[in-house]
């Protein structure tokens, strides 16, 4: 505490600093709890919470969800090692961030799975174009200095729209996930917009 000549307190030193430090620590802990460490995208729980809030705010305006899975990621890990695999995850994350900047948000669901939310897209073609551009950009290749190798990254993308393909966030994500698996089973490295038949095909395969 700083005092004047008569010993009266003028200001308190240290308390404000302590409060600021506590606030910074709280903010850092909050960010760590909200983001995936490796990709620096939202983690799954944060993405699901943000998507739920976005849909509640949208009042039936279109919301696009893109479910992305890196093709043959296990092969990359097995051949080049997990450190290179981590580099690829960071590379994919960087490409995704550029695509959603100013128009939505993205999260990593774990492993090689990512999910994007594009808010109020103008039309379906905008989402199709975004998907193709992302597929092309990833395939241009990532050069790993660690392994001294260039990797052409392939990805399968499933697309679903709120409210057309689901009346809540969980249903829309599930629809996009099914659409992504449709791509996986039909050649990979492409995109597919969810169709109700996708669920029927999945159910039939489980039955068989």
**What DSSP designation does 134 have?**
H
- Alpha-carbon gap, residue 134 to 71, rounded angstroms: 14
What pLDDT was estimated at residue 72? 97
Sorted by where each begins, the domain ranges of the chain are 1-34, 36-207
Arch. (CATH architecture) of 36-207: 2-Layer Sandwich (3.30)
8 versus 21: which is more confidently predicted? 21
Q: Residues of the chain with pLDDT > 70: what percent?
A: 81
198 versus 168: which is more confidently predicted? 168
Q: Please, what is the Cα angle at 178 between 187 and 42, to 5 degrees?
A: 105
Neighbours of 184 (CB within 10 A): 15
pLDDT higher than threshold 80 for residue 143: yes
What pLDDT was estimated at residue 59? 82
Rg (CA), the chain: 22
- pLDDT tens digit sequence for 170-203: 999 999 999 999 999 999 999 999 999 887 655 4
26 versus 166: which is more confidently predicted? 166
What pLDDT was estimated at residue 7? 57
Please measure the distance between the N-terminal and C-terminal CA atoms of the chain and give it in whole angstroms.
78
- pLDDT tens digit sequence for 57-79: 988 899 999 999 999 999 999 99
Q: Do residues 195 and 183 make contact, with C-beta atoms less than 8 angstroms apart?
A: no
């Amino acid at each position: 505490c700083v005092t004047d000549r008569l010993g009266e307190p003028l200001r308190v030193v240290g308390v404000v600093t302590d409060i600021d430090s506590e606030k910074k620590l709280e903010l850092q802990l909050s960010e760590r709890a909200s983001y995936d460490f490796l990709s620096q995208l939202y983690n799954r729980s944060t993405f699901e919470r943000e998507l739920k809030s976005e849909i509640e705010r949208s009042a039936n305006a279109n919301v696009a969800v893109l479910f992305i899975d890196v093709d043959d990621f296990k092969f990359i890990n097995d051949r080049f090692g997990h450190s290179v695999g981590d580099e690829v995850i960071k590379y994919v994350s960087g490409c995704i961030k550029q695509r959603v900047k100013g128009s939505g948000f993205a999260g990593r669901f774990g492993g090689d799975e990512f999910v994007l939310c594009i808010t109020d897209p103008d039309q379906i073609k905008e989402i199709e174009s975004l998907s193709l551009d992302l597929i092309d950009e990833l395939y241009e290749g990532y050069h790993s200095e660690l392994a001294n190798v260039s990797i052409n990254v392939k990805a399968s993308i499933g697309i679903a729209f709120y409210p057309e393909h689901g009346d809540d966030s969980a249903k829309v994500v599930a629809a996009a996930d099914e659409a992504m698996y449709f791509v996986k089973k039909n050649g990979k490295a492409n995109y597919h917009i969810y169709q109700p038949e996708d669920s029927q095909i999945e159910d039939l395969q489980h039955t068989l």
